[in-house]
Amino acid sequence: MSRLQLALNVTDLEAAIEHYSRLFGTTPAKLKPGYANFAIANPPLKLVLLQNHDAEPGSINHLGVEVESTDEVASELARVHAAGLKTSAEGETTCCYALQDKFWVDGSLHDFEIYTVLAPAEVMHESAAGVCCATDEAVSNSPELEPAAAGRCC
């Protein structure tokens, strides 16, 4: 089953977690410093919260679609490329505490990722060169990183 991903910038992660837990009747599937995600069954939604004090609270960080397999990622990449959309393939990358296979579609307002999770990871991202959703806390612990608003996310 595919599901839409909505990644939001928040300034108060704890308050946002409480709000969305009450709204969707579930707790985060993954909770890390400056980061939370909800795997909501109904409606099928991956809600990602990124602590980012430099962004407007509740603003969209990015959008995406989580699919079930690398075959689906490849199929979607071929489909959107054939449709004439500008894409950026990343392949396997560590982002948002997960090893993922993904690509991006450059959007007019928001970039859109299509990805699958291959395995959990213990780190937010694999290297400063491959920054994904760098949260305020990750940035403060690693000054070479850019904030989430400046980079792509997972």
pLDDT tens readout for residues 66-84: 999 999 999 999 999 999 9
Please give the residue range of the domain that contains residue 124: 3-150
Residue pair 62/113 in contact by the 8 Å Cβ criterion: yes
pLDDT of residue 127: 52
pTM: 0.80
Tell me how far apart the alpha carbons of residues 103 and 85 are, in angstroms, rounded to a whole number. Answer: 12
DSSP assignment letter at 125: B
Look up the CATH number of the domain holding residue 142.
3.10.180.10
Higher pLDDT, 142 or 51: 51
Total number of domains in the chain:
1
Residues near 34 by beta carbon (within 8 Å), at least 6 away in sequence: 13, 50, 51, 135, 136, 137, 138
pLDDT of residue 145: 38
Per cent of the chain over pLDDT 70 is 82
Higher pLDDT, 6 or 149: 6
Residue pair 62/111 in contact by the 8 Å Cβ criterion: yes
